[in-house]
Structure 1
Amino acid sequence: MADAQSPGPGGRGPDRRGPRPPRPRRTRLQAFIYWTMVMGVWALIFLVAFFAVFSVDLPDTSKLYQVKRQPSVSYLDRSGALISVRGSQYAPPVDLDKLPPYVPKAFIAIEDRWFYWHFGFNPWGIARSLFYNATHRGGPLRGGSTITQQLARNLFLTPSQTYRRKIQELILAVWLEAKFSKKQILELYLNRVYFGAGAYGIEAASERYFGQPASQLTLSEAALLAGMMKGPSRYSPVAATDRAARRATMVLDEMVRMHAITRQQEEAAINGGPIRVNPVLANQRAQYFTDWLDDQVRQLVGEPTEDLVVETTLDLPLQTSAEQALQRDVAAAASQGVQQGALISIDGEGRVRAYVGGINYLQSQFDRVSQARRQAGSAFKPFVYLTAMDAGRTPDTPVVDEPITIGNWQPRNYTGRYLGPITLEIALKESINTVAARLANEVGTANVAMTAKRLGITSPIQLDPSMALGAVEVSPLEMAQAYDAFSNGGFFVKAHAIERIRTASGRVLYDQGMGGADRRAVIGQPALAYMIRMMRAVIGSGTGTRAAVPGFDLAGKTGTTSDYRDAWFIGYTGGFTTAVWVGRDDNTPMRKVTGGTVPAGIWHDYMAQALPRLKVAPIPGGEAPQPQPSDLIGDLLNGAQQAIRPSNQGPPPQPYPEQPQSDPNLPPY
């Protein structure tokens, strides 16, 4: 039987071509080449798509050499002396060839030692940063940026730490490498990088920190500036001297490792002594004051579009005396737990003449003059006594210092003793708590709050009986503002410090005199004279004797909270008021520091320097009208009856109606 044969094509007969021969297998080399080409094509497609996606919103690179300069604001004191300059400082670009060779080498050593060998990015550095970011989730991303990438970020991008921004940074770095030489890139970098303190570029940084051009930088100064690139504020030679020095030593070590300098050069730089920072920058005065004004300037004239000059009320010699007195006396009282302090002086028109928001601006920028709210303690009592004077009492009104209960509250005296029958003048100068509490209860805490508001206290005032002893949180700025009415004849003042704002070309944008002063009387006679008399006694023979400056007419009041968390002295002479506060930022108690000790000492040390310069007059309105003899006898008789009145007897009728402290119709103090 014949074998069956399959038909050929078209069914015409058997297929006589036979089976197909097997394809020859690729060698390993051929397979490698094939798959490499396939992967290369896909990689190219991926890269094109990748760059297309992340290049969509890349910034315009045509404005590479345009510098967006932030306008500067220069602050002058009342005599025209420069206080400080805020805003960016730029200098003409420096030629790399005119710098000492070790200057660019310092930056390359610490920032990008493979700068001359990569094409804009360092793959090994990127790999390390990716590993770090994968193992440290939740924190800031580490970029492993080269100098070229840093330049791309500074020129075109924002500092935001996102993967998209870092990819765009890489794309722009490659573009920069393709367009510019290494020398041009390094020159652009040194001329545009930020060095802190408002200085952009190495020329501006050298001028600001060392007071000299970049061409005169020493090796140690160059290392210090290079070290700042990791964090201009953290490694500032002004704010963090020791940390900056350690970082500079690290830069020198890296320079030796890459053979940019010798070990002998490093040792000479280290042993050359501490680097001297520009004394103008290191000792800038009134930085809290300038911070306080920065926002006010923008509120008055908007965001600056050109350089501005702000003429202020500050008196730099007084400012210097205030800073020195506060720093010296707080340091001397450190063993008593005193940590911080604040001082503000204003004249009779409300012009700020000295403003110290803390003992060291470089360590803490928190402004304790205007931002801190601390309990006033007994420094609040003058508002209680003024309300009582307005209600018809006098300094000679007899009262009884004895235990008292108001509701569930039993105030106690600081000494723990009671003096019995005394006058209001003695009660205030000795800061007797029971008398102040009784007075506030009699005239009404709501009326006391209205008195304090009328004089210039702006913080909320609670109406509990304890407010009479200063259980009210206020700022030193408010207290100085309110006490100033006692110094200027009884007129309201609004503390201010800007006299005029003008452009650098002379165009006036704001003038304090254009609005007119709010000159309204807030303390009348004879209440003003009575208060001045009693507050003179505080310094003359009361709790504030340490503040006395012989030969000057002074008055004031001490203030201490019951747990020694806050201590105050606020005093004045004719048309000039100074408030001093000391305490701790964490609000923990000091060691029995009262207003009559450290604050009064600071006030004295400062005012002893300030008063001769001011040539002040006696306190206006301090002469009280003398009552007729018949009236005086009547007052004494009425006072005697009041003094012997049993303590459980209700208060006599008063001109101010007593208001329920829970009354919802009371104003929101």
Structure 2
Amino acid sequence: MSAKDRARIEQAAHELAKVRGLAEAQFRDDTERAFGGQGLAWDAVEPPVRAYYLNRAYDRVRPVSLTPEDLDGGSPGVVETIVALHRRRHDRASRIIRKATGAVLRVAAAAFILLVGWLAVTAPLSQSLQPIAAPSFLVLAADGQPIARRGAVRDAPVDVMKLPPHVGQAFVAIEDRRFFHHVGIDPWGVGRALFRNWRSGRVREGGSTISQQLAKTSFTGGERTMGRKAQEALITLWLEARLSKEQILSRYLSNVYFGNNIYGLRAAARYYFSVRPEQLTLAQAAMLAGLVNAPNRLAPNRNLAGAQRRGRLVLQAMADIGYVGEDRARRTRGAQLRLAPSDNLPTGTYFADWILAKVEQADQQEYGERRIATTLDRRLQRSAIHAFRRAGLGSRQAALVAMRPDGRIVAMLGGRDYARSPYNRATMGRRQSGSTFKLFVYLAALRSGMNPDSPIEDSPITIGRWTPRNASGTYRGKIPLRDAFAMSSNVAAVRLARQVGIGNVIRTARDLGVTAPIPNDPSIALGTSGVSLVEMTAAYAAVAAGRYPVTAQGLDEQQGEDQDFLAALLHRSPPMRSDPAFADMRAMLGSAVAGGTGRAAALPVATFGKTGTTQDSRDALFIGFAGDLVVGVWVGNDDNRPMNNVAGGGLPARIWRSFMMEALRLSEPPRPRKPPEEDEDEWKDDSLGETIGRVLRDLGVTE
């Protein structure tokens, strides 16, 4: 018997004696009063009577180690009874403990089963054995030269069994040297990492195995939560159960990140060394294995010294394990590695963003780099950039679209500086088109049977509460359509739109490819509806081509490796139709440049175009064509603030001409300085400084 049990029994015996003594005394007092001073003997009384007095005494004493059951009517063998009672109590407590323990274990088991079930449902086990996701896109100009790269650079997976042994060994040595000996989770590795991190006072290494890294990077993402860690562990065990160690290592090498948005060993070998993974030398493999620890910081094209130091650590780890000999490791550490030249391609440009928005949604390729052949002409794109730089835009924004008459985009600028503002004003902005919209008004009139010499009244008009006015305040009475269009008479355009019908004007715009909303209102004759520059330029391209509709295209299905993919993406326009009215419309566009508001855009070759200026000079445009190029230029402020005396016949026309002179390789002829009489405010200079600068350039004093 233990000392604790003995002490408990002694205390119980003491309490029982106290209770019994108190009960006997109370019994004696009661019987003496009842029988006149002579009480009854305690032992002679019946057990129920003794039990009554014992219970009363128990309530007064309130013992610690006794229960009412322990009193047992005050029978003999007190100590033995107490010992037996305590034994029964101990057995009962043991049974209670066993039952409670069993219940807890059952609850824990049920909770564990539920947890595993939840993880199995929420963890992406279904993709654990599926291919690695989406490729990158390499955008090519019309000459096949790359101009932009978008997305992670991935390539086809590798098979470690087909690689030189030192390739896989380099990654195992530095990332998970017990890879072939654990079941996916390595307690020894975790303990070693914790100890080394504690000794160094900072995090020097992690405890994740290669299997865990694969589970995290491929299937659960980088989120650091308890739920994600549990899913990671479950997927790790799933991978270990379903795949061999060689298969796990192959998938790891096919998916691991190497910096510079490069994923997978095949892409990394090509990007950094221009070799296939089967051709990697020991030094190259060691450097690539070393990048995994901090890929962005150690990328050799940015930190060659750091990548070399890490590569030497990998070689030492390989020697420590016995993968390579000390002599070979020492010789390899001194090897000089030659990196492949870096292309440093941008991830986006105005044109590339426009193209990739269509491509990325449709692509289903699993691996590699999708090469997107486009229609962009790099020489013409440079000409557009030069034209913007020469223009003196100041704080204003601008956009330019150049296309062939069939709609193939050859140059595009959606703003002055993509790095500062990637918003594409050429394709995404729907600003008022001003008088460039008059193309549809006059073309609708020509379709109705009128001709360039048909008369139209150029005089004030009031429609309800609206009174449109000519910008110059000059009205000429009855004039031919040709002159009204060339001088951009506002009142004549409104009269003409009402005469041919607003619905016919809208129908003409739709025929030429305008998809933006157009209200059924006479004010649309002055270009009050918002239309993108690329759609307006495509409409002018239809007139240049003599057929409609023309749809702006940037993909070239005749070039590149993915012709079927590109052909499927190309927008198929309705069958093109000719229109006899286009010939007269071209003649009127020529008049607008030769002797109208577009004179500043005139080239040494036949030039056709139209100016446009919206109210308070908030937008200024020139759209026209010459040779085999159709070009639209817009100038304005992003916040729609008015510009200071900027009109379509001024700055936009000069940008248009500057681009076309370089694009068409034209030489500069002598130019008359006196402008013709104008009606729309298209000849207003932007500022005195810009006027002086333009005169000096024309005189050859400065560019």
TM-score (norm 2): 0.58
C-alpha spacing 1:362/1:202, structure 2 compared with 1 (3 Å) = farther
Q: Work out whether 1:4 is the aligned partner of 2:26.
A: no
> 1:470 Cα deviation (Å)?
0.2
C-alpha spacing 1:537/1:225, structure 2 compared with 1 (3 Å) = farther
Contact residue 375 and residue 556 of structure 2 kept, 8 A: no
Q: Deviations over 1:293-339 (max 9, x none)?
A: 4168x3xxx84578897885x444x3x24443444555666764323
Name the SS of the counterpart of 2:508 in structure 1. Answer: helix
C-alpha spacing 1:520/1:120, structure 2 compared with 1 (3 Å) = farther
Out of 499, 502, 510, the position equivalent to 1:453 is 510
C-alpha spacing 1:62/1:436, structure 2 compared with 1 (3 Å) = closer
Contact residue 434 and residue 612 of structure 2 kept, 8 A: yes
Contact residue 502 and residue 520 of structure 2 kept, 8 A: yes
Provide the rounded CA distance (Å) in 2 between the counterparts of 1:206 and 1:308: 14
Out of 588, 608, 613, the position equivalent to 1:534 is 588
Out of 121, 128, 150, the position equivalent to 1:57 is 121
Out of 469, 473, 477, the position equivalent to 1:417 is 473
Gaps of 5+ in 2: 1-39, 49-68, 91-97, 176-186, 198-206, 311-339, 667-703
Q: Deviations over 1:595-621 (max 9, x none)?
A: 2334333322332233249xxxxxxxx
> 1:553 Cα deviation (Å)?
1.4
Contact residue 157 and residue 250 of structure 2 kept, 8 A: no
Tell me which residue corresponds to 1:154.
217
Tell me which residue corresponds to 1:601.
654
Q: Deviations over 1:180-232 (max 9, x none)?
A: 9x99999976752457886323763585589799967999xx99994759xxx
Supply the RMSD in Å over aligned alpha carbons: 6.1
Tell me which residue corresponds to 2:190.
118
Alignment of 1:95-110 (within 5 A): none
Provide the rounded CA distance (Å) in 1 between the counterparts of 2:451 and 2:293: 66
Provide the rounded CA distance (Å) in 1 between the counterparts of 2:632 and 2:558: 27
Out of 252, 264, 282, the position equivalent to 1:201 is 264
Alignment of 1:62-77 (within 5 A): 67-68=131-132, 70=134
Tell me which residue corresponds to 2:600.
546
Contact residue 322 and residue 343 of structure 1 kept, 8 A: no
Q: Work out whether 1:20 is the aligned partner of 2:85.
A: no
Contact residue 536 and residue 556 of structure 1 kept, 8 A: yes
Q: Which amino acid aligns with 2:82?
A: R
Tell me which residue corresponds to 2:330.
none
Contact residue 210 and residue 277 of structure 1 kept, 8 A: no
Tell me which residue corresponds to 2:611.
558
Structure with larger Rg: 2
Provide the rounded CA distance (Å) in 1 between the counterparts of 2:402 and 2:166: 51
> 1:440 Cα deviation (Å)?
1.8
C-alpha spacing 1:116/1:359, structure 2 compared with 1 (3 Å) = farther
> 1:457 Cα deviation (Å)?
1.7
Out of 165, 168, 172, the position equivalent to 2:231 is 168
C-alpha spacing 1:609/1:564, structure 2 compared with 1 (3 Å) = same
> 1:391 Cα deviation (Å)?
4.2
Out of 558, 565, 579, the position equivalent to 2:632 is 579
> 1:168 Cα deviation (Å)?
1.3
C-alpha spacing 1:417/1:489, structure 2 compared with 1 (3 Å) = same
C-alpha spacing 1:438/1:228, structure 2 compared with 1 (3 Å) = farther
Tell me which residue corresponds to 1:567.
620
Contact residue 401 and residue 537 of structure 2 kept, 8 A: no
> 1:467 Cα deviation (Å)?
0.5
C-alpha spacing 1:338/1:227, structure 2 compared with 1 (3 Å) = farther
C-alpha spacing 1:603/1:360, structure 2 compared with 1 (3 Å) = same
Q: Work out whether 1:346 is the aligned partner of 2:404.
A: yes
> 1:469 Cα deviation (Å)?
0.6
Q: Which has the higher helix share?
A: 2
Out of 421, 441, 446, the position equivalent to 1:384 is 441
Q: Which amino acid aligns with 1:346?
A: R
Alignment of 1:126-275 (within 5 A): 151-157=214-220, 164-172=227-235, 192-193=255-256, 199-201=262-264, 204=267, 208=271, 226=294
Q: Which amino acid aligns with 1:343?
A: V
C-alpha spacing 1:52/1:217, structure 2 compared with 1 (3 Å) = closer
C-alpha spacing 1:418/1:62, structure 2 compared with 1 (3 Å) = closer
Q: Which amino acid aligns with 2:356?
A: D
If asked which structure has higher relative contact order (CA below 8 Å, sep 6+), I would say 1
Name the SS of the counterpart of 2:401 in structure 1. Answer: strand
Provide the rounded CA distance (Å) in 1 between the counterparts of 2:104 and 2:192: 22
Alignment of 1:450-489 (within 5 A): 450-489=507-546
> 1:518 Cα deviation (Å)?
1.8
Name the SS of the counterpart of 2:399 in structure 1. Answer: strand
Q: Deviations over 1:338-369 (max 9, x none)?
A: 2352424132x333333444555566554444
Provide the rounded CA distance (Å) in 2 between the counterparts of 1:237 and 1:400: 73
Contact residue 346 and residue 484 of structure 1 kept, 8 A: yes
Out of 81, 87, 90, the position equivalent to 2:155 is 90
Name the SS of the counterpart of 2:615 in structure 1. Answer: coil
